[in-house]
Amino acid sequence: MDRLHLINVFVAVVDANGFAGAARKLAISPPAVTRAIGELESHLGVRLLTRTTRVVRVTEAGARYVEDCRRILAELAEADESVSGLHGAPRGRLTVTAPALFGALHVTPVVTEYLQSYPEVTVSCWFLDRVVNLTDEGVDVAVRIGELPDSSLQAIRVGTVRRVVCGAPSYLARHGRPQRPEQLAEHALVLANAVTPAPEWRFKVEGELQTIKLTPRLLTTSNDSAIAAVAGGFGLSRLMSYQVDARVRAGELELLLQEFEPAPVPVHLVHREGRHASHKARAFIDLAVERLRERLRERLAPLG
């Protein structure tokens, strides 16, 4: 029994929504498709498909199994590429994830430069303010902002970003500038939960970390809305330096309490490729490391 052949046939049947379409796609006879599915179901001891005269439907077990089969076939293709295509042009699909605003501002330029260099690659960008599981969700490369937990993933540090308190000049003109972290209690605060999951901020005071409990006037799950509220003169917020970089440079926001900032937050490029990385992933990682280090060093470090 050729398990790989059976898996290919099963995936083709699901993709084509029928046996005849799978037969045409694979250039084999419909009876050969039927035999392959029967052999696979017999081996597994479970029904993967339900058939009527007109419709083929995937069973619950089949739906779970087809996702595993797709992953197996993708990994085999990657393995082939890493051995035989190492010196050829990158090709195929690459999936990249990053925090939403960081991805839009700093990863998108890397992706477009990469695509212009390698016309046989397509890239899917997942810019989300949540941690994407690279293995379970089939993602090739991720940008992680923050300390990394121990894992089997490969990580390359590309720089740091700061956690900065900021406010609009109009707000500061009306309410004054806090000189110490504890004076934040006297101000209207905007809390972006995507950045600060608990109602407290930490500052470095006299060499030690000090926690300031917050009573925010505005809670939002969107960094963009927090930035808009603060830039509109509503109050103060703490965000990542890359999120407010352009507005600070434009004079729309001012940085506060800089001498009390905690240590910068590391930024890593994380991937699951290991030393046998596919050519498309390795080419992207090499470019992204170089470009992100440039952007973080030249654009973000001088902020404020």
Domain range summary for the chain, segments of one domain joined by +: 3-84, 92-159+265-300, 163-260
Determine the Cα–Cα distance for residues 105 and 11; give it in Å rounded to an integer.
Answer: 38
Q: Which residues pair with 58 in a beta bridge?
A: 49
Intrachain domains 92-159+265-300 and 163-260 with the same fold? yes
Distance of CA 246 to the CA centre of its chain: 22
Fold of 163-260: D-Maltodextrin-Binding Protein; domain 2 (3.40.190)
Higher pLDDT, 279 or 286: 286
Q: What is the pLDDT of residue 302?
A: 44
Closest to 152 (Cα-Cα) out of 269, 266, 272, 72: 272
Q: Is residue 84 very low, low, confident or very high in pLDDT (cuts 50, 70, 90)?
A: low
Element (H, E) at 196: none
Percent of all residues in the chain with a pLDDT value above 70, rounded to a whole number: 89
The DSSP output letter for 7 is H
Architecture of the 3-84 domain = Orthogonal Bundle (1.10)
What does the pLDDT read at residue 41?
A: 92
Task: Identify residue 294 by its one-letter amino acid code.
Answer: E
By three-state DSSP, how is residue 33 classified?
helix
pLDDT tens sequence across 88-144: 678 889 999 999 999 999 999 999 999 999 999 999 999 998 888 887 788 899 999
- pLDDT for the residue 173: 97
Which helix (H) or strand (E) segment holds residue 95: the answer is: strand 92-98
pTM for this structure?
0.68
Write the CA distances from 268 to 161, 175, 179, 261, 265, integer angstroms.
Answer: 11, 38, 33, 21, 10
CATH number of 92-159+265-300: 3.40.190.10
What is the token pair recorded at 253? 């926001």
Backbone angles phi, psi at 250, to 5 degrees: -85, -5
What Rg, from alpha-carbon coordinates, does the chain have?
26
Average pLDDT of span 235-263: 94
pLDDT band with cut points at 50, 70 and 90 for residue 195:
low
